[in-house]
Every structure is written in C-alpha cells, then in structure tokens.
Chains A and B, each alone.
Chain A
Amino acid sequence: MSVIVLKPGLLSTLQDAGRPGHAALGVGRAGAMDGPALQLANALVGNVDNEAAIECTLLGPTLKFIEATVIALTGATIEASVDGRPIPMWTRCQLPAGSVLQLGGMSVGCRSYLAVGGGFDVAKVLGSRSTDLHARLGYANGRALRAGDALPTGACTSQASMHHNDELTSLPWSIDPHPWFDFAFRPLALLAGKHSALLDKRSQQILHDGKFVLSKDSNRTAGRLDGHTLSLRQPLELISEATLPGTLQLPPSGQPIALLAEAPVTGGYPRIGQIAVVDLPRLAQRRPGDAVCFRPSTLDDAVRRLHEREQRLGKLIQTIQRRLRLDRTAH
C-alpha cells in the first residue's frame, strides 16, 4: 500500500497529534497546526487514533494512490479532484486503485488535512510521525514532501466496508465544517502574559483594539504580526524560560510574534500574552495578509471553552464512528 507524491504542493508535511514528553531534551511537540481538523479527518476514514495525515499549506499536492484507498479532507476549503472529477470535503471518499488526487488552491483558510484509511505508516521518531521542520525530526529527517516520495499506508480497518468496484464514491453525508472552521476571522482570545503590564499604554490599547496582519514571514514555528509595533515602558533583560505554542513574544523590533506548533521549547523575549489553546487552530487557518485581532480573556473562560470544545469534538467523533458502522452493516 502506498501513495506516490507526483507534485508536492507548497508545503505538505506529515503530521499527527505531535511529540509530547521530550521538551526537557529541547524537542518540541510539533504536530498538526489545526488539531480538530486532523482528528475529524482521521475519524472520517475510520482511524481510531490520531494517525499521521498530510497537512497541506495554501496549495495542495498531487498524489497517486496505487491501491484502492479511503480518504477524507478537512480544514481549509481546498480544490480537490480525482482524475478530473471534483470530490467533496468533510466526508469519506473511496478512491479506486490508480487514482490521481489533485489538490489545488484554498479559497479560504491556510491548511487542509488529508487522512487515509490506516494512516501514513512512516517510522515514528521519538514516538510520533509528526514532521518538525525546525528540529528536522520525522519523515525523511523532518522535511516537507517532495515529488517521488512513496508514502506507505497502514492497515485500514474500514477498508472492509469498501465496495469492491472501481467507482469513485463518497458517503451520502458529510459533517458541517462551520463549528470547526472560523470563516468569520473572529478575534482570538488572549490571556495576559508575564510582561503584559509592562507594555506602554498605547501598546496595551493596540494589542486589544488594533488590527494586525499575518506577515508573509510566518511558518509553522511562528506567526509574525505586521501592522503595529509595540513597545515596553522600559527595555527588559530576561533569561530564557519555557515557551509554548500560543505564546505572544515581543522581540526588540517591536513586532509581536505568536509561537505556533513548532515553537522552540525555551525563549528569552518578553511574553506579552498567551493565545488561548482553543483559538490556536483558528490562527493556524489565517494566511499571510489575513487580519489577526485579539480580545482579552480570562484563564477560567479559556479553560471552559477548551473543555467544551473537547466534549463537542469527542461527541462528534463518536457519532461519525457510529454512522460509519451503520453504513458498513447496510452494505
């Protein structure tokens, strides 16, 4: 079972839920930038765990499926066709052997996820198949996919439910992307950071009322925010301490930097905020040039929203699993 990369797209990487447990060695988690989108793609193809999927960025890859395979696409709205026939997102599609899946541009959002039944079965590195481009860990020493890569896929539990014909088919139902994708670019919840109070008055106001723009100079490690420079009341000399995805740093240039999935584990810049975990997937779906605004949030509110989202996501995944079982019985 394998999938051949014909064209790699702009930046396509294998990602799973990440690489926890090694931060004390200087190894960050990496993993999918939009976690719920990864989980839903896996659920739709019948994968129980968070198997590795392809995270596409702005322009997707073209892939050839050697064997018949079930796939699902979630995340940013991406052009997708199999041998010239458009296929739907947020559902499960069955591809006949030899299919060529062409993923194009994204009309909204920045990152789409392609899961396959059984997951992409590349070797785990420190317990994860995530590509960490910054630390060069994961598939092929932590690089993005290239033309010619042959990606093995794992044994697919839902494969048995497939029709044994050569038709391209999709399920008669799909899930509603609206709860999982922020089409409106709403403000992101921002918790206070250790040094928030040291921003000067103007900067504090801008941080919560101003509109920033995601810089072209952004990647999986950090999103740089253009539009306003911020300043502290006085310069600070700090010693390095732990940083996290979502940490909003202020380097001496005054341009705020939001750390993302590949955040280094330590850093020494002033921390002027912490983006709520629940809103990180929404930031991950902003593309360079998109607006980024913040609203102040309390820790309790952020914890509550995260808890609610996890419960909603868990329930939806259970519903998907039940419906997939029913479909199988019906066949």
Chain B
Amino acid sequence: MTRSAAPPISAVPPAVQWEAMAENALLLRFGDTIDSSLNTCVHAATAHLRERLPTLEYVPAYASVLLRFDPAHWPALEERSPHQQLGDAVIAALADLSTAATASALIEIPVLYDGPDLTDVAALTGFSIEDVIVRHGAVEYRVAMLGFAPGFPYLLGLDPALAVPRRTDPRQRVPAGSVAIGGRQTGIYPTELPGGWQLIGRTPLQLFDVAADVPSLLAAGDRVRFRAIDRATFQQIAKARSA
C-alpha cells in the first residue's frame, strides 16, 4: 500500500512518502533509519502540519509520523479516495516547511547512577563505572518519540560506545524513573513497567502525571541532558515532589 508522494518535494529531504495504513490513518515516511536529522525533520513537519491541519491526531516516530483522521471528513471526490485527498493536502502543506532549526526545550534530568545493571554495562563496554556515568551525562539527547507506555521517551544521541544489548531475561517490574540503555538507545521508564533494557540509574522526577495540565514532562523533539546527583539530592528532590 505504499505510494510515492507525487511530486516529491524538495524542501523536505529526502522524498516524503505516504502510505495508507488503515481506513483512518495515513503514515508519512521520511526515511527508514534512526538518524538525528531525519528525526528533526519529522518533528518540524509534525509541528508544521499541526498548525495547518489541526483536526488530525499525529504520532511522530523516528523517521515517520502517523496521521489519524476521520475518513467521513474526507469524502471521496471525483474518484479520489480520502487518503489521496489527505495525502495531497499534506504534501501541499509541507511545501513551505522550513527545515531551519526550531527552538526546542532543553530539559535537565537529575540521575542517581546506582542501577542494578551498571556493573554489567561497565563490563560489556569495557569502561569503568565512573566512565559510563561520565559518558552518559556528557552529551545532549533528543526525544525521538514517546511510545511503549505513556511518557516513555526514546532518546537519540547515545554515545555508540555505550550501546549494550537488551537483557536476555526482561524484568517483570522496572521501577518508575529508571534510566536505561537498550541497544543504541537510552530512555526513562515513566512508571513501573515490565522491561528488558539495562538499568543504570534513576531519576526522582515524575515523567508522567495524568493530573497535570501537561501530563508528560518530555515531548517529542525536546532536548535532554542528564546530570549525576548523589543519594541525598535524590531524596531531597523526591521529597519536594511528594510534598
């Protein structure tokens, strides 16, 4: 069901393709790799489209964004299906997309690096525990997407030297706030969840709160930095949060 967008538009590199994924959904694909510039493009396009076609629901991912729509609002006209009409509208709306860097929030995440898999990660990478912590905190990450569970951020930018395979025996319960590495990705478990990533630390921040005006601390496209904290600071922040 993949159809090329015709004509391919030059402003959005590389060519955007759309695929009719379901009766009520169109998948816009920018590429098929995990790549920071592709992902930036996804978020720029999502923000751009949200302004122009606000009634749709958008699900950005690494290199694609899903558009969920009500096919009843796009009745077939002159033999053109709802998907063709929407696909054309999207491609037209993307024509004036600027891929210039847009401002995105930088969020600092305090982490107590005391995860149960920290020793394994050090052994697997050949670094000392201290080096793992320094390297994990040395770079700026970008939230590629939220998925798996409410508020779970998939972060781009992990030092390739820190890439470690997922655990062969996934945990039934990973504590809320756990900071973890899975393959070439790093992420944070917002709530207690089952999971197979290697746990290197935990943050006292609450990543997802349904009662808050903005339920997720992080949004796709945000920039993230980790800051190592000690146990006393962890408890202090956790206490302030629950007060």
Contacts and interface: CB of A to CB of B under 8 A. Distances in A.
Contact of B58 (A24, A26, A300): A24
A244 B22 CA distance: 8
Contacts of A307: 71-72
B33 interface: yes
A244 B25 CA distance: 9
Contact of A239 (B62, B83, B216): B62
Interface string B60-81: 1111111010011000100001
B1 interface: yes
A247 B66 CA distance: 13
Given A23-B68, A26-B150, A240 B22 contact: no
A240 B61 CA distance: 7
A137 B81 CA distance: 36
Nearest to B216: A25
Interface in B100-135: none
B145 interface: yes
A264 B147 CA distance: 7
A277 B23 CA distance: 7
B152 interface: yes
A148 interface: no
Contacts of B21: 194, 242, 244, 247, 274
A232 to B, nearest CB: 16
A221 to B, nearest CB: 12
Interface in A6-39: 20-27
Contact of A23 (B57, B71, B72, B83): B57
Interface string A242-280: 101011000000000000000011110000001011100
A189 B32 CA distance: 28
Nearest to A137: B210
A126 B64 contact: no
Contacts of B60: 24
Contacts of A299: 1, 20, 23, 81, 83
B159 interface: no
Interface residues of B, number: 48
A307 B63 CA distance: 31
B23 A303 contact: yes
Contacts of A20: 57, 68
A265 B61 CA distance: 10
A191 B149 contact: no
Given A241-B66, A242-B66, A26 B149 contact: yes
Nearest to A246: B22
Nearest to A239: B62
B98 interface: no
Contacts of B27: 194, 241-242
Interface in A291-325: 299-300, 302-303, 306-307, 310
Contact of B22 (A25, A136, A241, A277): A277
B22 A265 contact: no
Interface in B194-208: 208
B145 A192 contact: no
Contacts of A150: none
Contacts of A278: 23
B216 A26 contact: yes
A306 B81 CA distance: 14
A240 B154 contact: yes
A308 to B, nearest CB: 11
B89 interface: no
B179 interface: no
B140 to A, nearest CB: 21
A280 to B, nearest CB: 10
Given A22-B215, A135-B149, A191 B22 contact: yes
Contacts of A276: 23
A302 B27 CA distance: 17
A31 B34 CA distance: 32
Contacts of A264: 147-149
A252 B33 CA distance: 20
A256 B32 CA distance: 23
Nearest to A28: B150
B63 to A, nearest CB: 6
Interface string B213-224: 001100110000
A283 to B, nearest CB: 14
B215 A25 contact: yes
Contacts of B76: 303
27 contacts: A20-B57, A23-B59, A23-B66, A23-B68, A24-B59, A24-B146, A25-B146, A25-B216, A25-B219, A26-B147, A26-B149, A26-B150, A135-B149, A136-B191, A193-B1, A238-B32, A241-B61, A242-B21, A244-B66, A246-B22, A265-B59, A274-B21, A277-B23, A299-B81, A299-B83, A303-B23, A303-B71
What 3 pairs between A and B have smallest CB-CB spacing?
A266-B147, A242-B66, A26-B146
Interface of B: 1-2, 19-25, 27, 29, 32-34, 46, 57-66, 68, 71-72, 76, 81-83, 145-152, 154, 191, 208, 210, 215-216, 219-220
Given A241-B66, A274-B22, A278-B23, 4 more contacts: A24-B59, A24-B220, A137-B150, A239-B33
